A = this chain, B = another copy of it.
């Protein structure tokens, strides 16, 4: 994934918020709180409700974040759970410290 695509993914208020919410999923998505919730992530519907945009928009935003390696997805049954991708975010941090 190239650097410009990463920054484009971050250049949107809602997508930044989602990433920020996923940093503390238990606090930000109390409705979905359950056992392996921290491991698996948060499902699209919960994120959509919180963001207040349409389902299609949020689905697309999540895939933009995923293509930028900022989140990862796991399908379980009819749900897709998204969570923060620590590695991708660390890589971004390194880009900023070494190239900017």
Name A's B-contacting residues (CB within 8 A).
Answer: 3-4, 7-8, 10-13, 16, 19-20, 23, 70, 84, 89, 92-93, 96-97, 99-100
List, sorted by A's number, 17 A–B pairs whose CB atoms are closer than 8 Å.
A4-B11, A4-B12, A4-B13, A4-B16, A7-B7, A7-B10, A7-B11, A8-B11, A10-B10, A11-B11, A16-B99, A23-B99, A70-B100, A93-B93, A93-B96, A93-B97, A96-B96
* A99/B11 in contact, CB under 8 A: no
**Copies of this subunit:** 2
* A96/B100 in contact, CB under 8 A: no
Chain A facing B: main interface SS = helix
Give the residues in chain B near A4, CB-CB below 8 Å.
Answer: 11-13, 16
Smallest CB separation, A61 vs chain B (Å): 14
